[in-house]
Chain A
């Protein structure tokens, strides 16, 4: 029953491998086996959103996906956002400047959800932003600043894209 199986997958553009029990979650694979502790585990029942990562570009609850299901898939975690030189991603810059985090526990999930959301909806209204993050709970209740951060991130990404077009 406790047999381990090999899982090969791409995490943040690097090919990784681990031997896991089938019952092990993707979140535990990332944190315990690969040392990527940026992905936080809050409720382990899909409610809080702290463990949100992207799998093949789509946001998922890493606590509700088994590591074996991530075989041959491409996973992006919060560690993928900052540049190799440690420079912050525009979404991270926005959260930092707009005080979009207090204790920071929900932040990794919110950042990854924001990345997915702004790729689909580059110029969102506040209502769209609020609706987009219903699945990410902030126990500090800092939602006003989080909404401002996402709005600011959208503007930063838009001006970055304009820059690259010219």
Chain B
């Protein structure tokens, strides 16, 4: 299986990049790590006339903490994020999720922003960033904008990016270092099926803030806001958490595919939601009642 022919572009400046993405907005694709795009091209599930390779743009390599925000450029590889002390101290939830992605060899090339642009409904990185909060910076020849993670994923393998727009970085809203976190997953042969990403902040053993995102149970990753609202203000006991997560997918149209039926995914989601909230509460320093 070989890709259909395409023209290859290697812009050296962001201005060149934006001109190219504008010119080829209908039949061009951005190539970053290529770990999701190239399989689609090889299988000819996707045909494009223009590949715009951003690997020549050094400015997209940055990992930078700016106050309560962590900026990760579009060329930051997943493997680098795993090894980077700035990422591990600022966003341990994301590191735990990235560690579940495929294999070290794939992570050597694959980027965090690429995982967001690919927008797999079961993707680990989309779920983790959705729990944390923040968004992506998007550039276009006619102007730049930001898209919140909550608005970014519009369907299976679909994002809110418009033709000609390029995601240049992601900006994570950081949680305080005393917040507990947990990313847990059930997968098949390193292929994600269902996962849960949780963050919990405690104040005198009472939940003051929390977030939980699930992947693999809908067309996009989703926040379980009903659980979040009910959890805040309570003492995070195992019994309470088990009660909260019951029927967590009831309001969702849970898909069935070769990796799992709707019923299976719903059951697994409940278990993973419970485990992630328990581990996150433990790591936030909850005191057993």
Contact = CB atoms under 8 A, between A and B. Distances in A.
B190 interface: yes
Interface string B31-42: 100110011011
B2 interface: yes
Interface in A1-58: 1-3, 5, 21-25, 28, 44-46, 49, 52, 58
Contacts of A68: 8, 10, 53
A59 B42 contact: no
A123 interface: no
A59 B38 contact: no
Nearest to B53: A69
Interface residues of A, number: 32
A116 B107 CA distance: 14
Interface in A100-146: 113, 116-117, 132, 134-136
B104 A46 contact: no
Given A1-B7, A22-B6, A23-B5, A65 B42 contact: no
Given A23-B3, A69-B55, A60 B8 contact: no
A64 B5 contact: no
Nearest to B105: A59
Contacts of B55: 69
B49 A46 contact: no
Contact of B6 (A5, A23, A28): A23
A52 B105 contact: yes
A135 B190 contact: yes
Contacts, number: 86
Nearest to A52: B105
A111 B49 CA distance: 36
Interface in B207-241: none
A58 B110 CA distance: 13
Contact of B105 (A21, A25, A60, A69): A60
A5 B109 contact: no
A63 interface: yes
Contacts of A21: 5
A132 B104 CA distance: 7
Contacts of A151: none
Interface of B: 1-8, 10, 31, 34-35, 38-39, 41-43, 49, 51, 53, 55, 102-106, 108-109, 190
Interface of A: 1-3, 5, 21-25, 28, 44-46, 49, 52, 58-61, 63-66, 68-69, 113, 116-117, 132, 134-136
